[in-house]
Structure 1
Amino acid sequence: MRTTRAGTISPDDRKVHVTQTVSTIFQFRAIDWGMEICELHVALPPVDRPTTLALYRLNATVPVDISTLSFNVRPPRVAKLDNIVPGQHSLDWHRKLSCAMDDVLVFELGCSEDELSGRCDIEWWQAHNMTAPGQYFTTLYEIC
């Protein structure tokens, strides 16, 4: 775990993986008093074959326990924020969300229900020293 201007990041390098049976959970805690608006960025590198991903907000008010995290015990989905479609160019999707100091915000990136079965398979490594898409500001967890 390490602290940066963007927050505490753990671990430094992490594979993001999404298939029909695997999704990625990420979470962060709002730590700035009086901000009340958080902005979530999902930066994706270019991909060879477009894939439709879905970004969900999960119902969690405390950090997810990664030692027991699985598909069956993940927090329930509260809302679908958007479909995200990476393509031949880098993508920087972002959305502003209301948040209070010390709020825990938890999200799931998975295959969209609109994606044809078997066509959703994407992965990339998030590295702390990258400045291009693929950089991350949150903690990522892969669940099966």
Structure 2
Amino acid sequence: MPANGEYIALPARNSSEELLEETRLDGSRARSTTRYETSTNDRLIFWAAVGVACSTAFSAVLFFITVFFPPNVAVAPSRITTGVPRRPNPYVYLDRILANTTQKFPPITNFPPVALQFDNADPKRRMREEERGRPTEFGTVYPDDRHILVTDKVSTVVQFRHIDYAMERCVLNITIPQQDGHFDPAVTLTDPSMVDVWVLDAPMELSRYISGTLERAPQRRELLTTLTVSRSESSHSSEFHCSSGEFTTLELVCSPSHPNCNIDFWQDQRAKPIGGLHIVQQSSLSPTTT
């Protein structure tokens, strides 16, 4: 109680109003104004509770509607197809750029990246790949050599991918490869030998990375040509269309008119001079005159 006997009421505990007192320099105490403060924590707790309640109510309503009134939504068809996997087109809009060109492009020599054999007596035409792997101190090395083997018992399947744009005039060529200091074709040949070349019904790529494509030889579609294979000269087919980026799959089999053929050699696309089984692609652009 102050010295003058005046009674000062104390603020209630936990009240939002507090009576503040200041101490003067002379030691006397004076009554100060009252500060009104609103508790921030109380407001946050209140609005948080309101938010939780609203969210819970909204979730309950959605659950009720979903269970008792399921929406009739049509499911969009899947974009994943079970058809033939295709590579992306690397030549987008190139046709517009070369629409009025007079440029002439040199021919391309294209070797098959895949050469597989199967036994003619096998009704399932199960294929196998023969290779020239050799052990080294770093492990087994597999060169790019491809085996071409055609006898009365064995046939060979090769596949070409048509490279570059608008090089769609193709000719199949076979030339017995020659030995050089780095490559031995190991040629065995009945000279001459007659070989039927069949186009197979295989629009997709033959690859070890595509399951099932290397298991069986595809069925024959049409006879492309009959080649006479000789050491003295090369043999080639007539011209056929080969769409850019697509594949041509061929089967080499002894011609029925000459069943005792025997063609056995290895080929490497890097060997010089050029030899083996390959296609020559020529430009299919039609130059325009201005």
| TM-score, normalised via structure 2 length | 0.39
Unaligned runs of 5+ in 1: 139-144
Quick check: 1:16 aligned with 2:148?
yes
Partner of 2:247: 104
What's the offset of the Cα at 1:95?
Answer: 3.1
Question: Aligned runs of 1:1-144 on 2, under 5 Å?
Answer: 6=109, 10=113, 12-44=144-176, 47-65=189-207, 69=214, 73-116=216-259, 119-132=260-273, 134-137=275-278
* Residues matched between the structures, number: 130
Identity of matched residues, %: 28
What's the offset of the Cα at 1:27?
Answer: 0.9
Q: Which has the higher helix share?
A: 2
Aligned equivalents of 1:100, 1:129: Cα separation in 2: 25
Whether the 8 Å CA contact 2:198–2:220 is kept in 1: the answer is yes
Aligned equivalents of 2:175, 2:222: Cα separation in 1: 20
Aligned equivalents of 1:111, 1:134: Cα separation in 2: 20
Whether the 8 Å CA contact 2:173–2:234 is kept in 1: the answer is no
Whether the 8 Å CA contact 1:83–1:112 is kept in 2: the answer is yes
Is the alpha carbon distance of 1:36 and 1:127 closer, same or farther for their aligned partners in structure 2, counting shifts above 3 Å?
Answer: closer
Whether the 8 Å CA contact 1:125–1:134 is kept in 2: the answer is no
Partner of 2:92: none
Aligned equivalents of 2:267, 2:111: Cα separation in 1: 15
Higher relative contact order, structure no. (Cα contacts within 8 Å, ≥ 6 residues apart): 1
Is the alpha carbon distance of 1:93 and 1:132 closer, same or farther for their aligned partners in structure 2, counting shifts above 3 Å?
Answer: farther
Is the alpha carbon distance of 1:133 and 1:92 closer, same or farther for their aligned partners in structure 2, counting shifts above 3 Å?
Answer: farther
Whether the 8 Å CA contact 1:61–1:104 is kept in 2: the answer is yes
Aligned equivalents of 2:190, 2:110: Cα separation in 1: 31
Q: Which has the larger radius of gyration?
A: 2
Is the alpha carbon distance of 1:31 and 1:14 closer, same or farther for their aligned partners in structure 2, counting shifts above 3 Å?
Answer: closer
Aligned equivalents of 2:149, 2:240: Cα separation in 1: 24
Q: Which has the higher strand share?
A: 1
Unaligned runs of 5+ in 2: 1-107, 114-142, 178-186, 280-290
Is the alpha carbon distance of 1:21 and 1:9 closer, same or farther for their aligned partners in structure 2, counting shifts above 3 Å?
Answer: closer
Is the alpha carbon distance of 1:58 and 1:91 closer, same or farther for their aligned partners in structure 2, counting shifts above 3 Å?
Answer: same
Report the AA paired with residue 264 of structure 2.
E
What's the offset of the Cα at 1:135?
Answer: 3.6
Deviates most, 49-58 or 124-133: 124-133
Corresponding residue SS for 1:41: strand
